[in-house]
Every structure is written in structure tokens, then in C-alpha cells.
Amino acid sequence: MTSDQVYLALLEIFLLITVAQGLKISSNKARIPPLIMELITGLVLSPFALGEVINAFVGYQIFTINSYLLLFSEFSVILLIFASGLEHGFKSLRTSGYLASLAATFGAVLPFVGVFFYMNFFVSFPVAILMGAATAATSLAAVASIIESERLENEHYIKITLSAAAIDDVVAFIILSISLAIIDTGGLSFFELVKLTLKVVVSWVIIFLASVFIIPRIISVVSDSLVVDMSLLILFILVTVMITLGFSPIIAAFIAGVAIAESRKAERIRGMVKTMIAIFGSLFFITIGAQTNVFTFVSTDVLVQGSIITVLAIVLKFAGIFPFAYVYNKDIRKAIASSLGMIPRGEMGLVISSIAFSSGVFNQSDLSEVIFMSLTTTAIGAIAFERLTRKIAKNET
């Protein structure tokens, strides 16, 4: 890459981040999830849309999918998943309770299985299983701002949502690990599938528990001036180890985040990560949007399949959570609210679709369908959750 191409790539990154930040600020009052504005930025300024027009107008290839943009995007997603692990911590996983654990497990497994079996009629096995995996995980970010602004953190019915969301991520990462292992291995008998699943789960649990036991002790003995450097070193060492063992780097990032959250110096590390995410965090979602041909959304097949996947993702997630939320709340409306808070997919669905697209499993249409599902579930879940929580609050005053 020449120096001119490097400068153009950096200019593209700065422009994309600036536009995304501007859109997020302007949409803040409307409470539109930032993820939606970041995706829209990428879709509009992609080389498939307005970006190509701007390139032709200025005479330079500013908006392109280049190696620098993809590199920063990969770094961005590792930071985002690392931050997710930091926010959860092992304590929240340990104290979630059996009802939250069951809600998270069934809420992740049902959409995964349902979407997989449906898509298996239309696409190849690898595409179907990763489509299912993309619908498994909840993104609490979409409703987090509502919980904070409405001061719902201490409400009884919100606690199961927060606890289940923590477990939900772990279940989704295990599903992703198993899915990737099955794709790599190829055709398996039922016995071989069970054996592979047990192997992945046991490996995952051993690495997870070992990390949670060892990493906080390392962080605790490091001087304050080196704690940030050490946390990043641990993150990248764990990423390297887990890639070598055949796991995705985002799984390593999550485990590192959960483990470091248990150290006494976790708050300082959270501050550093928040600063880095403020700069680079949006780049992953922008890049996903930029890699997607916006004109695929006018395709009848994409709209129909995307809508069916969205309906399955919403209905099966709700069906997996509601029974346990009702037992927990003893109130139908509050159980519905608890379940609606888990509807948005957001980050994890897009992370999995990015892995599938970059590895050649997904094509443009597959990527568009997952983006459609992520955007729609995020919007529907957040709006429905906000309206119902306000009604509940109004009735209780």
C-alpha cells in the first residue's frame, strides 16, 4: 500500500467516525440506539451507495473496503466484546439464579434451533447454522439507556432481564464455538456431534474458569502504572492462545473481560476501555454497514427471508424467556416486560454475521438478512420495552 493509499484510508476512517458521531448526537433525543445510526452511516457511505458517488466527484477512492478499515474494524469488535465481559464480570454470572440461567439458556437455544431448521431448507448447512447462531444472543445495549433514564435498575422485574442477559452471552458464545467447530469438522454422525459438543463445552469451561482464577491475581499484583498495559497484554495473549486452540478471537476477548472484571483494579481498566470504545467502538458497525450493498434490501428474497427470520427470532426468544420470567415475577405484564428487554439482537448478531461474511460463508444477501433482523429486533424490542415499562410505572404511582 502506498503512502497516498494509507492517507486515504485514514481519511475514510475519520470521516466515517465523524458522520456516525454526528448522527448519534442528533438522534439522541429520539432515543434511537447508536448501533442503528452507525449501521446507517456505513450503508449510506459505502462504495455501493453514496460513497461511490463521492469518490467519482472528488476523483479519489476515499470510501473503499480496504485492509486498514478491516483491521480497525477487527480491533473494534475485540474491544466491544472485551468491554461486554468487563461489564458482566464473573460475579453477575455466579449470582444470576437458576430462573435467569434457564431463561437465558432457553432464550438463546430456541431461536438458534428454530432459525437453523428453517434456513436449512433454503441455504447450505454452514449458512443455516450461523444464521441460527446470529439470532441467539441478546443485546442489552438497546434497552440499557431506557433502564438508566427511567431509573429501573432496582425494579424487581428488571433484575431477571439483567441477570439473564449476562448468562445469555455465555450461552451464545458456546453456541458459536460449537457451530464453528461443526463447520470446520464437516459431516458428523449423531454420536460424533455429541462428542464434539461435549469437547467444546468442556474446553470452554476449563479455559473460562482457569482465566477467572488466574488473571485477577496477576492484575492485582501489577503496579497501578502498568495495569492498563498488562490488561491489554493479557487480552492479546488469550486471543492468541484461543485462536491456536481453534476458538474465535471474540470468545477470548469476552473471557478476558469477565476475568479482569474480578480484579480489584477493574474500574481503572473499564475507564481505559470506555475511552478507546468512544474512539474506535463505532467502527465495527460502520464497517459492517459499508460491506453491505444497500440495494440488496430491495430484493424480495432478502426482505421475505429477513422478515421471517426476524419473526422467528422475536417469537422464539420471547417463548424461551417468558415462562421463567412469569415464575420469577408472578405478574404477566412484568413478565412480558422482562421478556421484551431481551428481544434486541444488535451487537452479537452482527459480530457473528461479520465472521461468517469475512470467512466466505455468508454472501451479500445472507449478510443483509442478518442486518435486517438485528435492526428490526433492536427497534421493536426497545420501543415495546419502553412503552410497557412506562405503563407499569404509571400504574404503580
Q: Residue 337's closest CA among 349, 324, 325, 323? A: 325
Whether 238 is in a domain gets the answer yes
pLDDT at 236: 86
pLDDT at 106: 94
Q: State the distance between the two ends of the chain, measured CA to CA, in whole angstroms.
A: 63
Domain harbouring 80, CATH code: 1.20.1530.20
Whether 8 is in a domain gets the answer no
pLDDT at 28: 75
pLDDT at 163: 80
Q: State the DSSP code for 362.
A: S
> Strand, coil or helix: what is 177?
helix
pLDDT at 127: 94
Q: Residue 111's closest CA among 313, 310, 308, 306? A: 313
Query: Would you say the C-alpha torsion 278, 271, 211, 165 has a positive or negative sign?
Result: negative
Helices (H) and strands (E) counted in the chain, each on its own, are 17, 0
pLDDT at 246: 74
Whether 173 is in a domain gets the answer yes
| Number of structural domains the chain divides into | 1
pLDDT at 268: 83
pLDDT at 307: 95
**What number of other Cβ atoms are within 10 A of residue 73's Cβ?**
24
pLDDT at 185: 78
Q: Tell me the average confidence (pLDDT) per consecutive run of 10 residues in the chain, 397 residues long.
A: 79 92 83 82 92 91 89 86 79 73 92 95 92 87 69 79 81 86 77 81 84 87 84 87 80 86 84 82 88 89 94 95 92 91 83 87 92 89 86 79
pLDDT at 212: 86
The residues, ordered by sequence, that sit 6+ positions from 7 with a Cβ below 8 Å of its Cβ are none
Whether 2 is in a domain gets the answer no
pLDDT at 349: 83
Cα–Cα distance measured from residue 2 to residue 260, given in angstroms and rounded to the nearest whole number: 39
Cα–Cα distance measured from residue 13 to residue 31, given in angstroms and rounded to the nearest whole number: 25
Cα–Cα distance measured from residue 278 to residue 125, given in angstroms and rounded to the nearest whole number: 37
Q: Report the amino acid identity of residue 196.
A: L
The shares of helix, strand and coil residues in the chain, as percent rounded to the nearest 5, are 80, 0, 20
Cα–Cα distance measured from residue 303 to residue 297, given in angstroms and rounded to the nearest whole number: 6
Please give the grid coordinates belonging to residue 188.
458428523
pLDDT at 303: 94
Structural contact between residues 361 and 182, judged by C-beta atoms closer than 8 angstroms: no
Please give the grid coordinates belonging to residue 10.
485514514
pLDDT at 145: 66
Whether 254 is in a domain gets the answer yes
Cα–Cα distance measured from residue 13 to residue 82, given in angstroms and rounded to the nearest whole number: 22
Whether 182 is in a domain gets the answer yes
Domain region containing 223: 13-396
Specify the residue for cell string 427471508: 305
Please give the grid coordinates belonging to residue 66.
480496504
Whether 325 is in a domain gets the answer yes
